[in-house]
Amino acid sequence: MYYTRWNRTVKLFYFFAFLLFLFLLRLGYLQVFCHRSFTLLARDQNTSWVALEEVSRGHIRDRYGRPLTAGGKEYRLAFFPSLVRSRERVEGVLRRYLSSEERAKVWEVGPTLLPVILSRDEAKEIQNTLPPGLMVVEVEKRYRSPQPAANTVGYVGPLAPGEGEELSRLTGRLYRTDDVTGKSGLEKYYEAYLKGERPERVLRLYVDGLGRVVPGLGIREEKTVDFSRQDVYLTLDLTIQEKVEKILDRHRIKEGAVVVLDPANGDLLALASRPALDPRAPGRFLKQEGVFLDPAVQLYQPGSVFKIAVAAAALEKGVVKPEDKFFCAGEKEPLIPCYEKKGHGFLDFATAMAVSCNPVFARVALRTGAEAIIEQVQRLGLDCQEIIGYPFPPDDRQNWTAIAQPYNLANSGIGQGPVLTTPVQVAAMTAAVANGGYYHQPRLVLKVVGREGTTVKFGQGRTWRALSPPTAAELKKMMYLVTTAGSGREAWVKGGSAGKTGSAQVGGKEKEIYAWFTGFAPYDRPRYVVTVLVKGGESGGKTAAPLFREIIQELLSS
């Protein structure tokens, strides 16, 4: 019996020792790892404060660390009810800016930023005349105007009912009812990384346990570090992005996209889309378009830019050579009529590429066969919509097996019928010609970096040989002929450029033209691949090619 009691006593000792160990372990964790959070929570309980940043989130940055989501500062009115001495005087100021309903809510919510944006002159004029309780403050905006790469960056908005609980399950982050969340683009896809727990700049008023202002401390601006938020670094170059967007706006392009890509590694240097989302007022864009779209990654009929893939398949299979002769009878062609009504007469395959002769490419497509074209499409990455770091939902309408269906092959040979591609896919295909035959999967995100220096890196995408060296060299020469003696002469730049025009007709009775040009420069050592799409253009040669030339000249001059 004595042994049994002793055994029980020993077991109880070890049990309580284990509980004490767990308690001390938890206490140490709270003191070491949670000290910062509890200190901030205690400060929040003893103060009234107003955030001096529009959104508490990490930044989306370009490849050099320059923020795309830093809109500068704007002047706002901050309201501290506990400092008000004369409600009548405060109401007199509020009437100038707010409706009666908005004024009633102001007195209920406590310290807040009023929905009032002041000009610099107006802020200077009123800042010394405001009654106690109101003050002019500078608030950091989330977005610029205009916002670079707006459709890719996306926007943030208030939580929908029940959305906070769902996001907490998905991201492991806590959401308050007044939080905002990414609604589209990178803001949405990187919500778990970007979301912050608290503002890093606040205007703080110290109060006692009863909410009374502590004399002598006044209002102080404080800066802290929010270690919960992280920054997303992109492959985009902000300088290139802004130059491209300025050119689009200068030419008043209403619908379309421009992709600038580094042919050496597949990095996306610019993604510009029109119409451009205004992230500070997304409702206008959504009302106009119905749904949010990023034209740079949407599917369109490519028209004659797809002839690059058809020519590649034919050359690789050996069914045609650049010097092989053809005859074009123009509108009398029985298979597919040519846009040149009188016809091109006798011409070789390289010239047919340069002048974009449809009858020749329809015949070459039939000679090459659907299987070989589909295989080449896959090698050129046209069957993959994935972009490293940009997990947008793929569009299931892209179905390359449809080329092999009856009566589709000839139309597919000129980029019509079931053929659909994205501007990014066309740019990556063009890069495979520019760099000697290697396909690099496009990449948009370089890394995610935390405030403590933790880094999540995104490696390069897959790379493979898409074209044999002889085929890549022949295609490069043929695309050079496009800009020197063919339909893309408006795309010629000093130092040499090469590319391909495209004019896809879409729609019913009133057909719309999708004007394309995709190419690279300088010719000998390509630095940039630029793909241009303009919806509603005149043609690839007359609308898209001049844009390509202007963009390339701007990039090469810097």
Decide if pLDDT at 401 tops 60: yes
Higher confidence at residue 23 or residue 503?
Answer: 503
DSSP bridge pairs for 49: 204
Look at residue 498 and tell me whether its pLDDT is greater than 90.
yes
Residue type, 395: D
- Does residue 274 contact residue 257 with C-beta atoms inside 8 Å? yes
pLDDT the model gives residue 214: 62
Own/partner long-range contacts of 470-475 (Cβ < 8 Å, ≥24 apart): 470/315, 471/312, 471/315, 471/316, 471/437, 472/432, 472/433, 472/436, 472/437, 473/436, 474/315, 474/322, 475/308, 475/311, 475/312, 475/315, 475/433
pLDDT for residue 47 is more than 60 = no
Q: Which two tokens stand for residue 219?
A: 């209002």
pLDDT per position as a tens digit, 116-161: 899 999 999 998 899 988 999 999 999 998 999 999 999 999 998 8
pLDDT at 293: 75
Give the C-alpha separation, 96 to 255, whole Å. 40
Please state, in angstroms and rounded to a whole number, the distance separating the CA atoms of residues 253 and 244: 12
Residue 284 · residue 460 · CB < 8 Å: no
The Cα angle at residue 252 between residues 74 and 153, in degrees rounded to 5:
45
Q: What is the DSSP letter of 276?
A: P
Q: Kindly state the tokens that stand for 303.
A: 């028209």
Give every CB contact of residue 209 below 8 A, 6+ residues apart in sequence.
none
Question: What CA–CA distances, in Å, run from 42 to 45, 209, 226?
Answer: 5, 12, 16
Structural contact between residues 198 and 55, judged by C-beta atoms closer than 8 angstroms:
no
Q: Which two tokens stand for residue 181?
A: 């969340």
Query: pLDDT tens across 185-224, in order?
Result: 999 999 999 999 989 999 888 766 555 666 656 688 888 8
**Whole-Å CA distances, 555 to 60, 64, 435, 528, 552:** 23, 17, 19, 8, 5
User: For the chain, how many residues are written?
Assistant: 558
Q: Which is more confident, 167 or 347?
A: 347
- Beta-carbon neighbour count of residue 281 at 10 Å? 12
Q: 416 pLDDT exceeds 90? A: yes
DSSP secondary structure string, 112-180?
Answer: EEEEEEE-HHHHHHHTTTPPTTEEEEEEE-SS-SSPTTHHHH--EEEPPTTHHHHHHHHH-----TT-E
Identify the pLDDT of residue 213.
62
For the chain, the helix, strand and coil percentages under 3-state DSSP, each to the nearest 5: 40, 25, 40
C-beta of residue 516 within 8 angstroms of C-beta of residue 533: yes
Q: Is the pLDDT of residue 5 over 70?
A: no
More confident: 281 or 403: 403
Q: Cα(322)–Cα(410) distance, rounded to whole angstroms?
A: 20
Higher per-residue pLDDT: 13 or 533: 533
Q: What is the bridge-based pairing of β-strands 455-457 and 445-450?
A: antiparallel
Three-state secondary structure call for residue 463? strand
Structure tokens at 358: 């449809």
Predicted pLDDT at 42? 44
pTM of the entire structure? 0.88
pLDDT at 206 (0 to 100) = 72
Each residue of 425-454: b (16+ CB within 10 Å) or e?
bbbbbbbbbbbebbbbbbbbbbbbbeeeee
CA distance 33 to 14: 28
Rounded Cα distance, 447 and 97, in Å: 43
CA-closest candidate to residue 138, choices 56, 199, 67, 77: 77
What integer pLDDT is reported at residue 226 of this predicted model?
92
Could you give the strand order of the β-sheet that contains 134-140, starting from the edge strand earlier in sequence?
A: 112-118, 73-79, 134-140
pLDDT value at position 40? 45
User: In terms of C-beta density within 10 A (0-12 exposed, 13-18 middle, 19 or more buried), how is residue 489 classed?
Assistant: middle
For residue 38, pLDDT beyond 70: no
Mean pLDDT for 473-485 is 98
Q: Six-digit token pair at 482?
A: 């496009």
pLDDT band for position 83 (cuts 50, 70, 90): confident
Statement: residue 77 has pLDDT above 50: yes
Per-residue pLDDT, 39: 45
Percentage of the residues of the chain whose pLDDT score is greater than 70:
89
* Neighbour-count burial of 295, counting CB atoms closer than 10 A to its CB (0-12 exposed, 13-18 middle, 19+ buried): buried
Helix (H, G, I), strand (E, B) or coil at 394: coil
Written as one letter, the residue type at 334 is P
Query: By CB neighbour count within 10 A (0-12 exposed, 13-18 middle, 19+ buried), where does 373 fall?
Result: buried
Q: Are strands 47-51 and 201-206 parallel, antiparallel or unpaired?
A: antiparallel
Residue 195, strand partner residues: 57
More confident of the two residues 37 and 88: 88
Cα–Cα distance, 499 to 487 (Å, whole number): 10
Model confidence at 41, in pLDDT bands (50, 70, 90)? very low
Sign of CA pseudo-dihedral 372, 377, 378, 383:
negative
Q: In sequence order, what are the residues at sequence separation of 6 or more whose Cβ sits closer than 8 angstroms to the Cβ of residue 207?
A: 46, 47, 48, 82, 213, 214
Q: Radius of gyration (Cα) for the chain, nearest Å?
A: 31
Determine the pLDDT at residue 452.
87
Instruction: Give the pLDDT confidence score for residue 31 in this predicted structure.
Output: 59
Nearest to 532 by CA among 254, 272, 154: 272
**Identity at 159, one-letter amino acid code:** L
Tens digits of residue pLDDT in 244-296: 999 999 999 999 999 999 999 999 999 999 999 889 887 766 555 545 678 99
Give me the chain's average pLDDT, please: 89
Per-residue pLDDT of 328-358, as tens digits, reads 999 999 999 999 999 999 999 999 999 999 9
The end-to-end CA distance of the chain, in Å, is 93
What is the Cβ-side half-sphere exposure of residue 90, based on CA atoms within 13 angstroms? 20
Alpha-carbon distance of 173 to 106, in angstroms, equals 29
